[in-house]
Amino acid sequence: MTVLTILSEKGRQVVTAPPTMALQDIARELIRHGIGAVVIVDGVGTVVGVMSERDIVCAIANGGARALQEPVGDHMQQNPVTAHENDTVDSTMQTMTLERRRHLPVMRDGRLCGLVSIGDVVKHRIKVIEEEHRCMREYIAQA
């Protein structure tokens, strides 16, 4: 199974923002969309960072409330680790674990084409395990 499978099920919509947007506005976008991270893109659509809820908490912890008025570019995860559509779910899960990242932008031909979260990966793995379990029960019942 690949990342493409996950994107086919969940969709490819990605909320993006420019690096000049204020942290407070990013927080509003997270709440408005019910998401945990925003992909930061420059003027030509190149992925330059990721800003997650955790990153906002770190910015406030380090800079106080004034950090909320600062540009996201000052606090984002720069040069984020990415995934590709043809990456396996297992390798993506391993990357997320090793790099301690909960969100990975998905790239195709150098362009952003989706976003996968650890929740997406776990949901997919549970679905696969449940299907294997069902098949095993059917096999045993037929024996």
| Alpha helix segments (H runs only) across 34-117 | 53-63, 89-99
Q: What confidence score (pLDDT) does residue 86 get?
A: 94
**Total of domains in the chain:** 1
Q: Can you give the residue range of the structural domain that contains 64?
A: 3-142
Q: Quick one: tokens of 85?
A: 């559509």
**What's the pLDDT tens digit per position in 6-55?**
999 999 999 999 999 999 999 999 999 999 999 999 989 899 999 999 99
Q: What confidence score (pLDDT) does residue 106 get?
A: 97
Other CB atoms within 10 A of residue 56 CB:
22
Q: What confidence score (pLDDT) does residue 128 get?
A: 83
Q: What confidence score (pLDDT) does residue 36 get?
A: 94
Percentage of residues of the chain with pLDDT beyond 70: 100
Residue 134: pLDDT band by 50, 70, 90 thresholds? confident
Residue whose C-alpha is closest to residue 53's, from 70, 29, 20: 29
**What's the pLDDT tens digit per position in 61-81?**
999 999 999 999 999 999 899
CATH number at residue 81: 3.10.580.10
Q: What confidence score (pLDDT) does residue 12 get?
A: 93
pTM above 0.85, yes or no: yes
